[in-house]
Amino acid sequence: MLEGNKEFIAKSLENDPDYFTKLANGQKPPILWIGCADSRVPANQITNTNPGEIFVHRNIANMVIHSDMNMLSVLDYAVNVLEVKHVIVTGHYGCGGVIAAMTNKQFGLIDNWLRHIKDVYRLHASKLDLIKDEKERQDKLVEYNVVENVYNLCKTSIVQNAWQKGQPLAVHGWVYSIETGIIKDMNVSTYDNANMGNVFKFNSPPTP
């Protein structure tokens, strides 16, 4: 990894001698990415963006939990200091956290975290239980989990206060396929208080 760092520095300076000088001058990313901690879903790489363009928070199964001070601190800094224009909750198919939450097994401390995903299943059980294929049911819960966490994000005081002030801020929900590399827009974007109640419907916010 240290050798890789040296190669990264050499290639970056070869392309732009001022590369690190520019990065050191500060950041003003337009996007906050709330994604899964899965090692196969790096935000910059799968969106073909550069360092400095996406502010990133990652946890197991891309959760937005109102008691999570880590997530709330990142969100507060992104919205109120960096003044990002977009917040994107990004899940991915084959998510280990979602799959684990669909079982009755105990995994230890993480069971307390998975409880929130189990609640998402409970909310959508009438539809999920009709899906006989296990992988298809897992994929659908991944999608529902993104949608519910977009809704949770919209209900935070941080996002609510930004909208009350008229701050331009759009919230989106995406799902990434590790098998194909394709990002699916869940069409639950919302960008002000008036549209928060329609988070399960498509709105037309600024494009990230």
Range 3-28 average pLDDT = 96
pLDDT digits (tens, 9 = 90+) for 31-53: 999 999 999 999 999 999 999 99
Contact 30, 50 (CB under 8 A): no
Residue 83 CB-half CA count within 13 A: 5
Q: In the predicted model, is pLDDT for residue 174 greater than 90?
A: yes
pLDDT digits (tens, 9 = 90+) for 94-135: 999 999 999 999 999 999 999 999 999 999 999 999 999 999
To the nearest 10°, report the CA torsion of 86, 92, 95, 101.
60
**The whole model's pTM is what?**
0.91
Q: In the predicted model, is pLDDT for residue 196 greater than 50?
A: yes
**What residue ranges do the domains of the chain occupy?**
29-196
Structure tokens at 123: 């909310």
Using 50, 70 and 90 to split pLDDT, how confident is the model at 184? very high
**Per-residue pLDDT at 195:** 65
- Active-site residue set: 36, 38, 40, 92, 95
Q: In the predicted model, is pLDDT for residue 200 greater than 90?
A: no
pLDDT digits (tens, 9 = 90+) for 73-86: 999 999 999 999 99
**CA–CA separation, 120 and 173 (whole Å):** 15
Task: Find out if CATH 3.40.1050.10 is the number for domain 29-196.
Answer: yes
Range 89-95 average pLDDT = 98
Mean residue pLDDT of the chain comes to: 93
Using 50, 70 and 90 to split pLDDT, how confident is the model at 205? very low
Name every residue whose Cβ is closer than 8 Å to that of residue 36 and which is 6 or more positions away in sequence: 58, 59, 60, 61, 62, 90, 91, 92, 95, 97
**Per-residue pLDDT at 63:** 98
Which of the residue ranges 16-25, 65-74, 138-147, 191-200 would you say has the lowest mean pLDDT?
A: 191-200
Q: In the predicted model, is pLDDT for residue 197 greater than 90?
A: no
**Per-residue pLDDT at 102:** 97
Range 122-151 average pLDDT = 97
Is the torsion defined by CA of 197, 199, 201, 205 positive or negative? Answer: positive
